Amino acid sequence: MGTHPTVTAHDAIVRHAGSAPTDTRPLSGGAVVAHLENRATTVVAKPAAGPNATAAEGAGLRWLAESGDVPVPHAHGWDDAWLVVDYIEPAGGSPTPTAATTFGRGLAALHLRGAPTFGAPPPGGPVDAWIGLAPMANNTARSDTTWSDFYARDRIEPYVRAAVDQGIFDSSEAAVFDAVCSRLPELQPDTEPPARLHGDLWTGNVHWGADGRGWLIDPAAHGGHRETDLAMLRLFGAPHLDHILGAYAEAAAEAGHPLAPGHEGRVGLHQLFPLLVHTVLFGGGYAHQALATARQALRGTS
């Protein structure tokens, strides 16, 4: 997982949380959960998935946590090998509709906190970041760069090129995505400022805690379009998704920034990014789904 051979989870927890770990146990992916000897706190030490991965996630967690709109685990610190964050005890069952409504309203407020530009990394975060196990560029674009320019350059074209290089798409299939990129200003009018995105908001990264709240974990945070986070949340479903989306829309409207007309028809357009990431990582059915979604986007349907 990219950890430095001489740096252990124990070392990282002592360094970044300031206390020796006790009662440690492993989690998936090489992570370690531990109680802190001198505090009533439990932390997780997560190994780096690749260069800059811990810095990208740690900076993203802190950026998302700034406003307190949505619960986010505290990031104690990170180095090249490990990220140390608070462990959030999972809920014993499904979240309630009330919890989903609260999460949706908080997410709307978080998005409206904004970002400097489209593609901007979190403060202190690296340009060369990650989304899951795939590289992701967070280029600090010029302030006049449109969402369409950013989405084509950094969220569609790199993954289409990678898929072509892997033999997943041929040239005619890649041309479908080129057509989407050329029509982005028409398909998604550039009328919104950059939003503060989680960036990898599939249902697995909404952690329903034992405290009854929905927590944001494992971000790929950056400045982007808020419809992208919402589209990703729809991609694999989520508990009480209708409550989340309904509360989101209500809160956004109350704040004077309702979702733009036609957003329901643009879901597929915004799902192209995660679908292409999955295509590069896993191939198979994701490639077919990405291509079908691109063709639907060109027809103006999702």
Number of domains in the chain: 2
Query: Is 80 inside a domain boundary?
Result: yes
Query: Is 270 inside a domain boundary?
Result: yes
Tell me if residue 200 is catalytic. yes
Query: Is 18 inside a domain boundary?
Result: yes
Domain boundary among 86, 106, 127: 86
Do 110 and 232 sit in the same domain of this protein?
A: yes
Do 82 and 226 sit in the same domain of this protein?
A: no
pLDDT at residue 99 is higher than 90: yes
**What are the pLDDT digits (tens) for 143-177?**
778 999 999 999 999 999 999 999 999 999 999 99
Query: Is 4 inside a domain boundary?
Result: no
Query: Is 3 inside a domain boundary?
Result: no
* Mean local confidence (pLDDT), 120-135: 95
Q: How far apart are the C-alpha atoms of 242 and 248, rounded to whole Å?
A: 10
**What are the pLDDT digits (tens) for 24-47?**
999 988 999 999 987 789 999 999
The pLDDT value given to residue 92:
81
Helices 157-165 + 171-182 axis angle, to 10 = 180
Do 110 and 252 sit in the same domain of this protein?
A: yes
DSSP single-letter state for residue 155: I
Do 189 and 245 sit in the same domain of this protein?
A: yes
Question: 66 phi and psi, to 5 degrees?
Answer: -50, -45
Question: 77 phi and psi, to 5 degrees?
Answer: 165, 175
Q: Could you count the other beta carbons within 10 Å of the beta carbon of residue 144?
A: 7
Do 248 and 152 sit in the same domain of this protein?
A: yes
- CA angle 209-228-271, nearest 5°? 100
Of the candidates 156, 150, 130, the residue with the CA atom closest to the CA atom of residue 279: 156
pLDDT at residue 81 is higher than 60: yes
What range does the domain containing 270 cover? 97-298
pLDDT at residue 302 is higher than 70: no
Query: Is 91 inside a domain boundary?
Result: no
The one catalytic residue in 69, 79, 149, 200 is 200
Q: What does the mean pLDDT of the chain come to?
A: 94
The residue among 141 and 243 whose pLDDT is bigger is 243
Query: Is 1 inside a domain boundary?
Result: no
The pLDDT value given to residue 301:
57
Q: How far apart are the C-alpha atoms of 294 and 271, rounded to whole Å?
A: 9
Do 158 and 291 sit in the same domain of this protein?
A: yes
Is this prediction's pTM over 0.85? yes
Do 109 and 244 sit in the same domain of this protein?
A: yes
CATH code for the domain of 72: 3.30.200.20
CATH code for the domain of 111: 3.90.1200.10
Q: What region, left, alpha or beta, does residue 240 occupy, with left being phi > 0 and alpha being psi -120 to 50 degrees?
A: left
Do 64 and 188 sit in the same domain of this protein?
A: no
